[in-house]
């Protein structure tokens, strides 16, 4: 069938799409998401069919093409192309197999991940893959195969050092910016730590958002390799490099329903670690009412699954279950968290002790588990403390920051939101509970993480005594509208329970 | 947040969509398929967020809007609008509930169906609903509630006659155009039969495609009512009226993976029947290698499920399991099938006896099960035969055709494809097997159903003796390219087994 090209002036940024008027589609017996072979002379490509339900965009005999298709075939508006029905990719029958409750072997998972990365599958088809993996679960072997497939379809940071250490926190706890302390401590102790972090997905700040206040975090993979080779570590944004790209596309379709498929969570985390050649990984699972993992039972279950998968991947793993019942550190939001981190590194009296202690605990666990020398063995915590308090960690931190591109390392010069609002205790008593989710919501309403200086600074933690009228926390915002919005949420959700 | 409107010059034909540059979305912490409230002055509406991964369509500070949103807010290119995050519809948490294996109550299913019909859910979200219903199944109560919700969210043909008879065939058998015979027989016998049919979805012709050769089938509901009130029946295209519209949107997302969710199949069929006020329904389940239902076991299972659901809907139902192992009738494709139907109605010597017999069997079952008078009781088949062979059925058929809008009722004047190709037996023997799927594929390749005159005419059925070189079937096409394509498929798939 011959059709006239209409340039839709849209790029999908991924999958190749063509659009037909619904009457043409019906006449040709073509259906939504059919694969269509589009040919012009000797060139051809395969696109997924979208159908225009209204007559506005396309008249009969026209095929609308997205930028990706126009480029591939080197054609433009008004050109004539031939359309014919193409076979669906093999991955579709494999996705159906999973949806039917059958197990997939490594080759089959590899085919699916390949097609996801190559933009051959629509979001609906990926959704069925997620739904099948979620309702039937992924076995340990499937999770291992998925992880390997994810690693192999992305960029890799190839490093020859041994051991290469990495850490990951399951999240859900505001503040909790231990990574930016653990990395310099470990690197100062002699470990190689090529740390890539994410930006915020649902929190007021991700590690990459916070680090970005202090240094550049968007580095090409060649530059990351140079930084790690030179300094022993890095703290960069993983999203800037194409590590395990299937993961993002899977997360995209999980988001609308907040699907939390365990197998995909494990694969997602371990694939990012595998992509940077990590050989030894510490996983922090905070547990508590407001954390992502709410019960100890679930945490222990996750720990076991992590161990099984890591073992089959040939990765050493140590899982630590920590207290996730309240925020850790005082600052919440990129700038406020960055200031906390610098205060701890500089042994400043403002340094939040809970954040410092948790970081030492994490670093200590790694040294105990995988000691580089006698000093680390069984007394990792004390060795980590020594490295931090002697200033060695700060020195290493500055070295990494300077290699990545320094922005600001003086905590007193970090720009916070101009507008502040103090939230005061309405009664005297003790802080009984701080709600992680409310704190996160208020900080986000105030502008975090897009407004770097926005967020919350806590003056009181759980079990602290408070007087009536004493400030519990301060909200920071960069503009009035955001502050108004934060106050509205404060009124709806509260945040502290004092009694 | 203020944004400048860009007119995307696209209509989705349903759901309201807005698009942001990925950098804006990231800065605002907005995610794919978040609900965005778009306000201009006092007017506001909620749209689903799409994110442009490339920088081409949208610059920073621009929001791309589809036609539906522009119309709703009465705005245009360059206007300023405010964007804020809106709550997701409640149906999303209910869909997740189903995905988690929980049962949904009638109110919950109604909320989901409402949101599907109101274009409040994205295809990804509807996909999760289908996936959850497919992997966990729908209980009888859920299926009943889904059916009711589908009926209540669409147009209805309100009729007061009793009984109102309908029939449905599960499909998969080429030809098999019994509906166009059963309806006039039953109406002539005194039944009210407001038959709405579908067009082809995957077959060479749907009943509506075939009927369209003979009469108009696109009628508004008010006209359908007039036809039924005047003549006692109709044979129209259901897609032209908005019966159970949720069904089409569900089928759209089932198609990419060819998902066949039993609960949704039952609800889909019975909702269409309920929408035309049917009180008595005959379901034909053809069984055979090439049919949609492949085993007797599956057919019996379906029969039970149909009975249970219909009972709770207060609908009388009769399920007939029939032979679906080969095409029924000789013509395949709209015009060829229409000619068969007219030949049977006119008692022409060309009339295919298998089609005639099956139609009499169906009509007879209905008369036996729900007799209007003593004559029907226990001898429905003979009464049906009498009505058909006496010409009463043909007379009624012409009356209905004329009420709908006559096109062509002379079988010799029906236009068939100009190009023909005879497929001949390569050996003498008996026809052992005719492959439904191959026959359907070849007929579709030849142009059916969009080319009304294209298709296949069978000269031999299973068990017929053939001589070497005798014509097994003829392919009809309206143009050379289609004929070439049909021959290519013929070479790949074959169609007949003679030995």
pLDDT in tens, B373-408: 998 888 999 999 999 999 999 999 999 999 999 999
Q: If pLDDT is split at 50, 70 and 90, which confidence band does B27 have?
A: low
**Alpha-carbon gap, residue B156 to B312, rounded angstroms:** 20
pLDDT value at residue A378: 84
**Do residue B257 and residue A9 have CB atoms under 8 angstroms apart?**
no
Residues 66-105 of A with CB under 8 A from B: 67, 92, 95-96, 99, 101
> Which DSSP string corresponds to A276-316?
TT-SEEEEEEEESTTSSB--HHHHHHHHHHHHHHHHHHT-E
pLDDT value at residue B6: 92
**Do residue B444 and residue A27 have CB atoms under 8 angstroms apart?**
no
How many CB atoms within 10 Å of residue B94? 21
Q: If pLDDT is split at 50, 70 and 90, which confidence band does B8 have?
A: confident
Residue of chain A minimizing CA distance to B481: A1
**Alpha-carbon gap, residue B127 to B95, rounded angstroms:** 10
For range B403-420, the mean pLDDT: 97
The reply to whether B260 belongs to the active site is yes
Q: If pLDDT is split at 50, 70 and 90, which confidence band does B462 have?
A: very high
**Do residue A101 and residue B257 have CB atoms under 8 angstroms apart?**
no
Spell out which residues of chain B touch residue A26, defining contact as CB-CB under 8 Å: 199, 450
- pLDDT higher than 90, residue B51: no
Place of tokens 């940077």: A276
Residues 22-51 of B with CB under 8 A from A: 22, 26-29, 31-33
Place of tokens 């030179």: A230
Average of per-residue pLDDT values in chain B: 93
pLDDT value at residue A252: 85
Task: Determine contact, residues B303/B138, Cβ cutoff 8 Å.
Answer: no
Percentage of residues in chain B having pLDDT higher than 90: 76
Measured in angstroms, the CA of B488 and the nearest CA of chain A are apart by: 14
For range B448-463, the mean pLDDT: 95
Catalytic residue among B9, B105, B107, B260: B260
- Each residue of B284-318: pLDDT tens digit? 999 998 788 999 999 999 999 999 999 999 999 99
**Do residue B10 and residue A10 have CB atoms under 8 angstroms apart?**
yes
- Each residue of B11-25: pLDDT tens digit? 766 788 899 987 778
A421 part of contact set with chain B, CB < 8 Å: no
CA distances (Å), B400 to each of B346, B393, B397, B405, in order? Answer: 15, 11, 5, 8
Three-state DSSP at B399 gives helix
Three-state DSSP at B472 gives strand
Residues 198-257 of B with CB under 8 A from A: 199-201, 252-253, 255-257
> DSSP assignment, residue B377?
T
N- to C-terminal Cα distance for chain B? 75
**Alpha-carbon gap, residue B430 to B464, rounded angstroms:** 6
For range B176-205, the mean pLDDT: 94
**Do residue B29 and residue A101 have CB atoms under 8 angstroms apart?**
no
CA distances (Å), B376 to each of A441, B284, B363, in order? Answer: 71, 20, 10
Catalytic residue among A260, A348, A410, A422: A260
Question: Which segments in chain A show pLDDT lower than 50?
Answer: none
Q: Give the lowest-confidence range in B19-33, B262-276, B334-348.
A: B19-33
For range B87-94, the mean pLDDT: 92
Spell out which residues of chain B touch residue A57, defining contact as CB-CB under 8 Å: 9-11
**Do residue A450 and residue B28 have CB atoms under 8 angstroms apart?**
yes
Percentage of residues in chain B having pLDDT higher than 70: 99
Rg of chain A's alpha carbons, rounded to an integer? 26
- pLDDT higher than 80, residue B114: yes
pLDDT value at residue A13: 67
Residue of chain A minimizing CA distance to B447: A28
Measured in angstroms, the CA of B414 and the nearest CA of chain A are apart by: 20
**Alpha-carbon gap, residue B365 to A296, rounded angstroms:** 62
Domains present along chain B, CATH in parentheses: 2-86 (2.40.40.20), 91-137 (no CATH), 165-240+258-411 (3.40.1030.10), 416-498 (3.90.1170.30)
Interface predicted TM-score (ipTM) of this complex, two decimals = 0.83
């Amino acid at each position: 069938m011959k059709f006239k090209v209409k340039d839709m002036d849209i790029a999908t940024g991924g999958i190749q799409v063509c659009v037909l008027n619904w009457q043409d589609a019906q006449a040709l017996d073509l259906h939504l998401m059919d694969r269509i072979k589009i040919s012009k002379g000797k060139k051809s490509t395969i696109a997924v069919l979208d159908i225009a339900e209204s007559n506005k965009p396309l008249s009969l005999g026209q095929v609308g093409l997205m930028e990706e298709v126009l480029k591939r075939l080197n054609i433009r508006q008004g050109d004539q192309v031939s359309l014919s029905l193409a076979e669906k990719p093999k991955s579709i029958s494999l996705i159906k197999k999973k949806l039917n409750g059958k197990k997939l072997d490594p080759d089959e998972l590899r085919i699916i991940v390949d097609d996801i990365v190559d933009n051959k599958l629509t979001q609906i088809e990926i959704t069925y893959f997620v739904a099948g993996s979620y309702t039937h679960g992924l076995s340990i072997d499937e999770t291992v195969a998925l992880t390997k497939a994810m690693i192999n379809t992305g960029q890799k940071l190839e490093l020859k050092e041994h051991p290469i250490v990495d850490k990951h926190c399951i999240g859900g706890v505001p503040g909790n910016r231990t990574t930016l302390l653990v990395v310099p401590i470990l690197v100062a102790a002699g470990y190689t730590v090529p740390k890539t972090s994410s930006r915020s997905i649902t929190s007021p700040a991700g590690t990459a958002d916070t680090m970005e206040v202090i240094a550049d975090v968007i580095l090409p993979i060649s530059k990351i390799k140079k930084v790690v080779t030179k300094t022993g570590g890095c703290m960069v944004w993983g999203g800037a490099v194409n590590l395990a790209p299937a993961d993002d596309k899977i997360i995209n379709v999980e988001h609308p329903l907040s699907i939390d498929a365990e197998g995909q969570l494990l694969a997602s985390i371990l694939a990012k670690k595998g992509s940077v050649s990590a050989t030894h990984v510490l996983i922090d699972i905070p547990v508590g009412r407001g954390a992502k993992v709410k019960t100890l039972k679930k945490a222990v279950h996750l720990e076991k699954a992590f161990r099984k998968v890591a073992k089959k991947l040939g990765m050493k793993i140590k899982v630590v279950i920590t207290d996730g019942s309240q925020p850790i550190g005082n600052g919440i939001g990129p700038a406020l968290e960055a200031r906390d981190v610098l205060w701890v590194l500089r042994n400043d009296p403002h340094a939040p002790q809970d954040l410092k202690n948790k970081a030492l605990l994490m670093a200590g666990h790694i040294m105990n588990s995988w000691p580089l020398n006698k000093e680390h063995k069984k007394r990792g915590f004390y060795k980590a403390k020594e490295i931090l308090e002697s200033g060695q960690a700060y020195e290493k931190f500055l070295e990494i920051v300077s290699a990545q591109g320094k922005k600001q390392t003086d905590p007193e010069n970090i720009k916070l939101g101009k507008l502040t609002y103090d939230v005061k205790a309405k009664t005297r008593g003790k802080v009984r509970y701080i709600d992680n989710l409310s704190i996160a919501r208020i900080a986000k309403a105030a502008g975090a993480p897009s407004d770097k200086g926005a967020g919350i600074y806590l003056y009181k933690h759980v079990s602290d005594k408070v007087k009536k009228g004493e400030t519990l926390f301060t909200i920071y915002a960069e503009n009035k509208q955001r502050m108004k919005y934060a106050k509205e949420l404060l009124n709806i959700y509260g945040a502290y329970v004092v009694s």
